[in-house]
């Protein structure tokens, strides 16, 4: 074999050296000039430091040991190489085993990786070794930054969350653009103080008897109307993600006065950043109450039991206070001077629209005739300390010797109003009295007529029989009793207040049965739909009693005469053409025709004069529906009942063939359109076989 020349030798050595270095790098080792057997534990050291931390990296220990059999006089040397000079090693030399202390000083160093080496050598020079050391300087973990431009936001502190505060007063209107209105929405901006942080936002209402659990807050991105309880985003340094926090109108508008809280959690979906919490506070204050009506509106002085008043309106709460007083001058005015100290009544809250109040029967206010003024007051909210009470509603205490009207009902149902089932808002509050044109009504009170009930005789007008509108007083024939409906109508000539006399059917000291004049249809659905009822005895008028006129106010006559139970119904036999009274012993067959007697179904197609006895068929103008056992029945006729006063309505209907049989099947009638329909009283039945 030929001996290689010098160039070949150098080349071979270079290849071997490069391969050896490469193998060392792959193994994660730093180049060492010798493989003499010196051992190091640990073989490398890494220091970590976070910028801004007051805690410096702890010192690290490294032990350098010569191989077995080495001379005990051999000295180990340690030389540090770092740029900048952040690494210190002590001692610089010593005998094996040599314990080195490594100290890192990261002061002033920006984030980054800083390599250094410790060169180990011997004296005499026989062996060397290099120890790699690294200092890692890092920034603190990025965290979420939350701010808000909204005036109702309070920034977080070291001891408290960020806070959003809303307020709402019951009854206030909701903004047309709630997501951009500061009273119902706020903006929360989320960013990062460093790296990119994806996050999710969640809202949760607090639980407990004092705060409730209804969802009253919503979240979503800016520019939308939030409907959910979660949203998300990606926070970047210097770029804010705007979030809308919105009050939920449907929930807030039904909440009772009180303080409510919710928590918004802004949580990163990556590790290293803390969760941010925002407390949302909502204060619901009671708005000013509104009084629509009270029932009753009149009592007789010195009652034997405490009168119970039903008060209808808006913004009633458990904290509402009801007071009643007499005012100077005998009238009622908001802020009017009171005669003495107002009396506070004991109240029971039925709903935000209905209050019940009990007036002590021994109260001095009830011992003498006069006009009393009733008010409802709510605690004044912080944002409106001058909030005014609701009212006044006028309440009358009548003399025990005076003629007085204390109430009026449908003569068939004995209810003060029928039930609104149409889609239109009910024009009659729960405590108000309603009537329709042509309705037969029962008027109750005291000293309304003779002590012995008087069956009013028919009169004859142009060969037509009719009930009179004026009935002589048996005790004083010079005087006559009249029932007067007063109303305001600008369409009549002359425009202004007008009086209509009602035909009287029955007259007694505590009750009058009369027919509401048909002409009152002109005020139905107008601003003048509230009319006044008074009784005149030829010498004086009774008190004024308010009545709301509606198109229909249906009631079904019953055999017991109290508005419930077996209806006043005739079975029709198509074979014999005869009529028999419906009862549990004489049930009507399914599929047969029966006749229902009712009142309060409104104006007739060809209205008769008030009080006249109908001699021919005359249908009511508005639709009539009959429901038997929950099923609709075919109505073949609804109108005047021949031989009876105009206002008594006969309804011919066919019992559905599929209705259940039984001695007491439910029966109702409804008068009016899908928008205005009103339904008769519950509890009326018919026997079906």
CATH number of the domain within which 111 lies:
2.60.40.1080
Is the predicted pLDDT of residue 451 greater than 90, yes or no? Answer: no
- Judge whether residue 31 has pLDDT over 80: no
Domain stop point among 113, 138, 163: 138
Q: Are 265 and 193 in the same domain?
A: yes
CA distance 601 to 607: 13
> What average pLDDT score do residues 470-474 get?
86
Q: Which residues contact 683 (CB under 8 A, 6 or more apart)?
A: 563, 564, 565
Give the pLDDT of residue 238.
80
What region, left, alpha or beta, does residue 27 occupy, with left being phi > 0 and alpha being psi -120 to 50 degrees? alpha
Domain count, the chain: 6
- Give yes or no for a contact between 285 and 259, defined as CB atoms under 8 angstroms apart: no
Has residue 47 got a pLDDT over 70? yes
Q: Output the pLDDT for position 8.
A: 43
Domain boundary (250, 285, 320) is at 285
What digits encode the pLDDT tens for the residues 104-124? 999 999 999 999 999 999 999
| Same domain flag for 154 and 279 | yes
Do residues 45 and 131 lie in contact, with contact meaning Cβ atoms separated by under 8 Å?
Answer: yes
Per-residue pLDDT tens for 306-347? 999 999 999 999 999 999 999 998 889 998 999 999 999 999
Write out the H or E segment, with its range, that includes residue 549: strand 545-549
Task: Output the CA torsion sign for 137, 141, 142, 143.
Answer: negative
DSSP reduced 3-state for 387: coil
Angle at 176 between CA 173 and CA 177, to 5 degrees: 130
Residue 302 and residue 182 share a domain = no
Other Cβ atoms less than 10 A from the Cβ of 597: the count is: 18
Q: Which residue has the tokens 């006249």?
A: 612
Secondary structure of 461-530 in the HEC alphabet? ECCEEECCCCEEECCEEEEEEEEEEEEEECCCCCCEEEEEEECEEEECCCEEEEECCHHHHHHCCCCCCE
Measured at the CA of 171, the angle between CA 170 and CA 173, to 5 degrees, comes to 115
d(CA 92, CA 72): 18
DSSP state for residue 364 in the 8-state scheme: G
Same domain, 180 and 226: yes
Read off the pLDDT band of 207 (50, 70, 90).
low
Residues 387 and 334 in one domain: yes
**Pairing mode, strands 45-50 and 128-138:** parallel
Give the pLDDT confidence score for residue 34 in this predicted structure: 41
Give the C-alpha separation, 412 to 555, whole Å.
5
Q: Taking a C-beta distance cutoff of 8 angstroms, is the pair 352, 315 a contact?
A: yes
Instruction: Say whether both 494 and 600 belong to one domain.
Output: no
Q: How large is the average pLDDT for residues 564-587? A: 93
Task: Mean pLDDT check: name the lowest of 20-29, 370-379, 528-537.
Answer: 20-29
Same domain, residue pair 49 and 94 = yes
Same domain, 389 and 412: no
Domain residue limits at 518:
404-549
What CATH number did the domain enclosing 376 receive? 2.60.40.10
175 with 301, same domain: the answer is: no
| Prediction pTM value | 0.62
Same domain, 260 and 385: no
CA distance 354 to 280: 31
pLDDT more than 70, % of the chain: 92
- Whether 468 and 487 share a structural domain: yes
CATH number at residue 158: 2.60.40.2910
Q: Among the three residues 109, 138, 167, which one is the final residue of a domain in this structure?
A: 138
CA distances from 635 to 167, 210, 225, 542, 619 (A): 54, 54, 49, 41, 12
Q: What is the pLDDT of residue 493?
A: 66
| For range 390-406, the mean pLDDT | 91
Q: Is the pLDDT of residue 644 over 60?
A: yes
Q: Are 113 and 105 in contact (CB under 8 A)?
A: no
pLDDT (tens digit per residue) in 220-278:
999 888 999 999 999 988 889 999 999 999 999 888 888 999 999 999 998 878 899 99
- Mean pLDDT value of segment 637-648: 92
In the predicted structure, residue 385 carries a pLDDT above the cut 60: yes
Please name the residues in contact with 55: beta carbons below 8 A apart, sequence gap of 6 or more: none
- The pLDDT value given to residue 401: 87
- State whether 479 and 505 are in the same domain: yes
Q: Using H for helix, E for strand and C for coil, what is the string for 584-615?
A: CCECECCCCEEEEEEECCCCECCCCCCCEECC
């Amino acid at each position: 074999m030929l001996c290689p020349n010098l160039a070949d030798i150098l080349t071979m050595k270079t290849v071997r050296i490069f391969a050896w270095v490469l193998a060392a790098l792959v193994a994660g080792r730093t180049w060492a000039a010798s493989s003499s057997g010196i051992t190091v534990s640990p073989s490398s050291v890494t220091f970590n430091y976070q910028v801004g931390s007051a805690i410096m990296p702890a010192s690290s220990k490294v032990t350098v040991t010569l191989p077995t059999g080495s001379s005990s006089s051999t000295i180990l040397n340690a030389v540090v190489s770092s740029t900048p000079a952040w690494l210190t090693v002590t001692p610089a030399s010593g005998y094996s085993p040599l314990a080195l202390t490594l100290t890192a000083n990261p002061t002033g160093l920006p984030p980054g990786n800083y390599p250094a080496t410790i060169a180990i050598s011997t004296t005499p020079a026989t062996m060397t070794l290099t120890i790699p050391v690294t200092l890692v300087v890092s920034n603190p973990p990025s965290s979420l930054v939350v701010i808000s431009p909204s005036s109702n936001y309070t920034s977080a502190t070291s001891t408290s969350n960020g806070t959003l505060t809303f307020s709402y007063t019951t009854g206030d209107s909701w903004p047309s653009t709630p997501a951009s209105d500061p009273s119902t929405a706020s903006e929360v901006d989320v960013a990062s103080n460093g790296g990119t942080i994806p996050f999710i936002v969640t809202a949760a209402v607090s639980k407990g008897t004092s705060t409730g659990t209804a969802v009253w807050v919503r979240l979503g991105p800016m520019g939308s109307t939030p409907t959910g309880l979660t949203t998300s985003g990606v926070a970047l340094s210097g770029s804010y993600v705007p979030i809308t926090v919105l009050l939920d109108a449907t929930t807030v508008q039904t909440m009772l006065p009180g303080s409510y809280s919710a928590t918004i959690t802004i949580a990163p979906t990556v590790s290293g950043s803390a969760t941010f919490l925002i407390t949302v506070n909502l204060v619901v204050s009671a708005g000013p109450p509104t009084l629509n009506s009270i029932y009753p509106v009149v009592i007789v002085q010195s009652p034997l039991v405490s009168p119970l008043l039903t008060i209808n309106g808006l913004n009633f709460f458990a904290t509402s206070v009801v007071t009643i007083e007499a005012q100077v001058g005998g009238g009622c005015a908001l802020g009017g001077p009171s005669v003495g100290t107002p009396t506070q009544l004991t109240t029971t809250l039925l709903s935000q629209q209905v209050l019940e109040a009990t007036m002590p029967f021994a109260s001095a206010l009830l011992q003498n005739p006069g006009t009393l003024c009733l008010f409802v007051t709510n605690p004044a909210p912080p944002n409106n300390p001058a909030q005014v009470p609701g009212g006044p509603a006028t309440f009358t205490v009548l003399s025990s010797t005076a003629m007085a009207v204390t109430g009026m009902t449908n003569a068939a149902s004995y209810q003060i109003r029928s039930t609104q089932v149409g889609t239109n808002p009910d024009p009659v509050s729960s405590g108000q009295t309603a009537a329709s044109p042509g309705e037969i009504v029962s008027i109750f009170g005291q000293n309304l007529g003779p002590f012995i009930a008087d069956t009013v005789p028919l009169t004859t007008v142009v060969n037509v029989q009719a009930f009179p509108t004026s009935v002589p007083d048996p005790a004083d024939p010079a005087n006559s009793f009249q029932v007067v409906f007063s109303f305001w109508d600008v369409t009549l000539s002359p425009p202004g207040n007008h009086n209509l006399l009602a035909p009287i059917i029955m007259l007694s000291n505590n009750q009058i049965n009369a027919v509401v004049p048909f002409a009152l249809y002109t005020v139905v659905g107008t601003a003048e739909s509230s009319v006044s009822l008074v009784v005149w005895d030829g010498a004086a008028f009774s008190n004024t009693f308010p009545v709301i006129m509606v198109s229909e106010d249906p009631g079904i006559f019953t055999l017991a005469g109290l508005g419930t139970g077996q209806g006043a119904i005739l079975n029709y036999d198509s074979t014999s053409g005869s009529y028999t009274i419906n009862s549990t012993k004489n049930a009507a067959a399914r599929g047969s025709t029966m006749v229902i007697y009712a009142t309060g179904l409104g104006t007739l197609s060809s209205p008769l004069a008030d009080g006249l006895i109908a001699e021919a068929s005359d249908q009511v103008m508005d639709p009539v529906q009959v429901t038997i056992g929950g099923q609709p029945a075919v109505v073949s006729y609804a109108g005047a009942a021949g031989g009876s006063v105009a206002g008594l309505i006969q309804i011919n209907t066919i019992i559905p063939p599929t209705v259940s049989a039984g001695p007491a099947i439910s029966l109702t009638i409804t008068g009016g359109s899908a928008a205005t329909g009103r339904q008769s009283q519950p509890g009326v039945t018919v026997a079906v076989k």
